[in-house]
Amino acid sequence: MGMTMTQKILAAHAGLDKVEAGQLIEADLDLVLGNDITSPVAIKEMEKMKVDGVFDKDKIALVPDHFVPNKDIKSAQHCKCVREFACKNQITNYFEVGQMGIEHALLPEKGLTVAGDVIIGADSHTCTYGALGAFSTGVGSTDMAAGMATGKAWFKVPSAIKFNLIGELPEWVSGKDLILHIIGMIGVDGALYKSMEFVGEGVKSLSMDDRFTVANMAIEAGGKNGIFPVDDLAVAYMKEHSTKNYTIYEADEDAVYDEEYTIDLSSLRPTIAFPHLPENTKTIDEITEDIKIDQVVIGSCTNGRIDDLRCAAKVLEGRHVAEGMRCIIIPATQAIYLQAMEEGLLKIFIEAGAVVSTPSCGPCLGGYMGILAEGERCVSTTNRNFVGRMGHVDSEIYLASPAVAAASAVAGKISCPCRL
């Protein structure tokens, strides 16, 4: 019985020839990640351990991104805690305001995540790096503390689901529509503690930004991780961004999967997740009523990359957001912000009546920069639409792609570019 791609990576990092689903292992870590919310808890746990520093100052990344620039005194105190810890331990990859970005866009951009790595992060969307063929997964702050201290973590080896992708995405359909389609199909617990492995000829039609989006939302299906094969596009991305060595793992032909699904990308339509779960999906064709909205957010670790901003700009160019509409656009990193500026995208956004923010998770978790009031509706390119996620418990969040979000901002109701 062969191993899946994820199982091979875990076996190698555990120093074992073979692992099986359900097996408990201890694996060496290539990177430990924390942000301004989760790191202070981990730092306090490390103090309780009375350990002498971190296991490797080059293999820890601390990214203040959720409430940064600081929104209040409490967030400022959290960031001060992280800053002082980074200074004391000479953490190489600490990113201050001006260098920081949304963590899951920043780390691949900085070349800190590559194929074959085992990465843990005290943030549930750490699974993003599977787009590059790494095993990456979210953990609690206590596990982050243990990882920073020892460079190791315990795992139960996950079983896997295979998603065989065929065909090519049509115009105005993206990786966000693909992952929302999958979550709508299998449910928010359909991949509970399983590895979601994406294969097939259709993978080559997905850009790296598409793949980051898909892997990012594996957790929204309950997945332990999402992972893509390492093809020429992934290799080119790593060579452009990283000097780290990488290792390509491939699943065995006789690898065992709990389920297998074949998805024809050419059949997908713009897909929206209605309140209050990511599985509550409808295609644009299934929406027969006018759903008026108050706000649009384009950004986050899911859809704040340059392809996402280009798509939004293509929709917004020569148009204006609807009367009374708030359209907030958040580039995911400083480099993406600069590139968007150089390409003229920011000018398009501002002329269309949108506002552009410094990189921040901000509104995604109801932090700041776009909180919803009672009864308000938002179309957002973020990853979760739980009750109260973005503000008042009686507000509503509709998850969508940048194309749908931008078109909805113009229409004042849920729409897509083909309907403008």
Residue 240 and residue 337 in one domain: no
Q: Domain check: are 63 and 98 in the same one? A: yes
CATH of the domain at 12: 3.30.499.10
Helix axes 208-216, 306-316, angle to 10 degrees: 100
Strand partners, 198: 163
Read off the pLDDT of residues 232-244 as tens digits, 9 standing for 90 and up: 999 999 999 999 9
Q: What is the mean pLDDT of residues 76-100?
A: 95
- The reply to whether omega before 69 is within 30° of 0 (cis) is yes
Please report the pLDDT score of residue 297 as a whole number.
97
Q: What is the pLDDT of residue 52?
A: 85
Residue 155 has φ and ψ, to the nearest 5°, of -140, 150
What is the arithmetic mean of pLDDT over 396-405? 97
- Domain span at 373: 273-419
Mean pLDDT computed over 175-191: 96
Does 254 lie in the same domain as 299? Answer: no
Q: How many domains does the chain have?
A: 2
| Alpha carbon distance 130, 143 (integer Å) | 20
Is the Cβ–Cβ distance between 65 and 104 less than 8 Å? no
Which phi and psi (to 5°) does residue 238 adopt?
-65, -40
- What distance in Å separates the CA atoms of residue 381 and residue 6, rounded to the nearest whole number? 28
Residues 254 and 309 occupy one common structural domain: no
- Give the model's pLDDT for residue 418: 86
Q: Are residues 197 and 322 in the same domain?
A: no
pLDDT for 104: 97
Q: What is the pLDDT of residue 91?
A: 97
- Token pair, residue 33, equals 């990640």
118-121 vs 93-94, strand pairing mode? unpaired
Q: Considering 235, 264, 293, which residue would you say is the last residue of a domain?
A: 264
pLDDT tens for 184-224 read 999 999 999 999 999 999 999 999 999 999 999 999 999 99
305, 255: one domain:
no
Q: Is residue 174 scored above 90 in pLDDT?
A: yes
Here the tokens at position 11 are: 């076996």
Going by C-alpha positions, the residue among 206, 164, 157 that lies closest to residue 10 is 157
The pLDDT value recorded for residue 1 is 81
